Structure 1
Amino acid sequence: MINTISKILKELRKKKKLTQAELAHGICTQAMISNFEKGESSPSSIVLYEISKKLDVDINIFFNEDYKSTKNNTNESINNTRNIIKNLIRNRDYEALAYIIEIEKEKENFTDLKDQQFLLWNEALCDFYLHKDISMALLKLGSALSLNKDICTEQDINIMNSIALIYFEIKEYEKSLDYTYKAVNNYKKHKITDKLLQIKLMYGLSRNMAALERFDEAILECKKAIDICVTIESLYLLGELYFQIARNLIIMDKADKSTQYLNKAELIFQIQNNKDYLNIIEQLKIQLYKE
C-alpha cells in the first residue's frame, strides 16, 4: 500500500508529538489539518511548505512514498497521483501542480496513452495559468487531443473545454465558442453521461454567447443547465448560472427581472461561502438600487 500525503503527514505529526491544533497554529486551522490527514483535501504548496518547516522535514518527504513505483503498485501510484492533481486543479494551486508533473515526467510512470494525455493536459494548464505562455499551452492541448485518435472520450471533451476556456480568457470569443460547440457535439455524439460535464459545457456556451452579445441565447443555455442541476439535485455551477442570467438581464436593460436571479445566486453563494461572488452581488445591488 502506497503512503499518501495524508498518511505521511499524520505519522510525522505524531512523531513530533504535536496535536493537530499545535501543528495548525500560525499556518491554517485545526479542521484543515484534520481534512489533510483524512485525505479529504490536499494542502497547497505554500501550506505544505509551512507544515514541513514546523515538522523540521524537507517538503519532498511528502511525495517520496507517493511517487515510488514498482511493477506491483504502478497503477495505484498513478491513480493516487491523478487524484492529487485533480485536487490541486480545484484549488488552483498550479505551482504545486507543476512540481508534481515534473516528478512524474522524470519517473516516466505514465505510459498508458490515457494517462500520458492526462499529464500533458495538466502540464498545458500550468503553462497558461502559471507561466502565462498561451502558445505553448494551446500547442500542448492540441497535442493531447491528437494522442487519442480512435474514439472521443470524456477526457478529450474536457481538453476541448480547456482550449475553449483559454480562448475565452484571452477574449477570442468566437474561437472559444467554436471549441465549446465542438465539445458539446462530441458529448452528444459519443453519448457521454456525466451531467456535471454537460452543465460545465452549457455554462461555457452561455458565457461566450454573452460576450458576443447574444444575450437571449445565453440566458436560454443557463436555464437549460439550471434544469439539469435541479433534476440531479446538484449545486454545481448553479449560483454562477443564476448570476449569469441576472447579469445578462441587467445589460439588456431588464434590471427589474434580474432581482429574482440575483437573490437565488446570492443564497447559493452564501451556502458555499463564496465571498468573491457575494461581494460582486452586493456591489451590483447597491448600483441597481441607486438607479
Structure 2
Amino acid sequence: MNLSLGEKIKDLRKRLDVSQAGLANGVCSQSELSRIERDQHQPSYMTLKGIADKLGVYITYFLSDSDSEREDYLNEVWSQLEKARRNRDYETIEDIVKTEMKNPLFKSQPEHRSLMWHRSMAEYYLHNDFDAAVNTLKDCLTLSSFDRFSAEINIQILNSLGIMYRDEGLLNESKDYHEQAYDLINQFTNLKDKRITAKVRYNLAKVYSDLHEVNKSLEVCYQGLSYCREYEDLFTFAEFHYQIGRNLLMQGKTEKGIDYWKKAKFLFELEGKDNLSKIIEHDIQTFQEHESV
C-alpha cells in the first residue's frame, strides 16, 4: 500500500515509539506536525529534514517513487540553497550540502557539481579556506560541456573563482576567470538564471577598475545597465551606477562621477538597502573632503 507523506511520518513515528510532542520538539510546533501527519499541511524542506533526522532516516524515505515528487524535492533544495546564498547563511549551505551529498538524487553530474559549488562557499566564507574552496571549484569545472545547464553552472563556478581571487588580491587571476564567465554569457543567451548575466558583468567591471582598465569597466557597466532596463530588473542596477561613478572619478570627471554615486545612493534607498546607501554617502563625503584639501 502506498502511504502518503503524512502517513509515512506517523507510521514511522509510532513504530519507533516516539510521541508527537517529542518529534515536534525543536523542529516545529506539535499542531503543525499534527497537520502534516493528517496531510493538511506540506512541510518545508527544513522541517522535513528535521523530522527525518529525529527519526533516524534519510529525507528521501518520505518521498514516493514518482518523478514529479522527486523533481519537486530537487527544486525545493535549490530554493533553500538560493535563499541561504542571498542571506549569506553559509552554515545552512554547509548543512544542506553535507546532507544531500549522501542523497542518490544528487549523484548525477549536474546536481553533484551544483552541490560542490555551494560547498566551496562554506569552505571559503565559513572556514576561510581559500585553497580548499578553489580546489573544489576547479574540480567541478567542465568547460568541455556546451549544453545550457552545464554552461550555467560553469558560469557560476567561474564567477565564484573570480570573486574569491579578487578578495585575495589576486587581480589578474580574478580577471581571467571573470572574462571566461563573460565569454560564456555572451555565447548562451537562454540561461535559466537571467540575473547571472548582470552578476558576471558587475564583477568583471569591478576587477577592471581595480586594474585601472577604466574604459573596459565602463563598457561592461553600460552593458549591464542596458540589460537591467531591458528586463526591467533593479538587480545590480544601483551597483552599476556606483561602479560607473567610481570609474568616472578615476578619470577625473568629478561632477559626473559624484552624480552617479548620488543616483546609486537613491536607488539603494528605494530598495531599502539603507546600509549601502550610508556607505555611498560616506564615500561621497570622504571624496569631497579629500578634493577640497
Structure 2 distance, partners of 1:204, 1:99, is 28
Counterpart amino acid of 1:89?
Answer: R
For normalisation by structure 1, the TM-score amounts to 0.75
Counterpart residue number, 1:198: 197
Residues 113 and 148, structure 1, Cα contact 8 Å, conserved in 2 = no
**Unaligned 5+ runs, structure 1:** 17-36, 43-47, 53-58
| Match for residue 95 of structure 1 among 91, 98, 114 | 91
The Cα shift of 1:187 comes to: 2.1
Structure 2 distance, partners of 1:85, 1:262, is 32
SS at match of 1:106: coil
Matches within 5 A, 1:61-100: 61=51, 67-69=59-61, 70=63, 71-72=65-66, 73-100=69-96
Range with greater deviation from structure 2 (180-189 or 140-149): 140-149
Counterpart residue number, 1:269: 268
The Cα shift of 1:282 comes to: 1.5
Structure 1 distance, partners of 2:95, 2:199, is 27
Counterpart residue number, 1:138: 134
Residues 163 and 176, structure 1, Cα contact 8 Å, conserved in 2 = yes
Range with greater deviation from structure 2 (146-155 or 208-217): 146-155
**Unaligned 5+ runs, structure 2:** 7-23, 33-41
Residues 66 and 77, structure 1, Cα contact 8 Å, conserved in 2 = no
Range with greater deviation from structure 2 (248-257 or 190-199): 190-199
Structure 2 distance, partners of 1:253, 1:282, is 19
Residue 172 of structure 1 pairs with residue 162 of structure 2: no
The Cα shift of 1:261 comes to: 0.8
Structure 2 distance, partners of 1:254, 1:62, is 60
The Cα shift of 1:142 comes to: 1.0
Structure 2 distance, partners of 1:218, 1:147, is 25
Residues 195 and 228, structure 1, Cα contact 8 Å, conserved in 2 = no
Higher relative CO (Cα under 8 Å, sequence separation at least 6) belongs to 1
Structural RMSD (CA): 3.1
The Cα shift of 1:153 comes to: 1.9
| Match for residue 162 of structure 1 among 155, 160, 163 | 160
Residues 181 and 205, structure 1, Cα contact 8 Å, conserved in 2 = yes
Residue 124 of structure 1 pairs with residue 120 of structure 2: yes
Residues 161 and 201, structure 1, Cα contact 8 Å, conserved in 2 = yes
Q: How many residues align?
A: 250
Structure 1 distance, partners of 2:58, 2:280, is 42
Structure 2 distance, partners of 1:205, 1:150, is 22
What is the CA deviation profile of residues 168-202 of structure 1, one whole-angstrom value per residue up to 9, with x for unaligned ones? 11111111111111112122234444542222111
For normalisation by structure 2, the TM-score amounts to 0.75
What is the CA deviation profile of residues 54-74 of structure 1, one whole-angstrom value per residue up to 9, with x for unaligned ones? xxxxx9349779933443343
Counterpart residue number, 1:60: 50
Structure number with greater Rg is 2
Give the direction of change, closer, same or farther, for the CA distance of 1:148–1:99 in structure 2 (3 Å limit): farther
Residues 164 and 174, structure 2, Cα contact 8 Å, conserved in 1 = yes
Residues 143 and 154, structure 2, Cα contact 8 Å, conserved in 1 = no
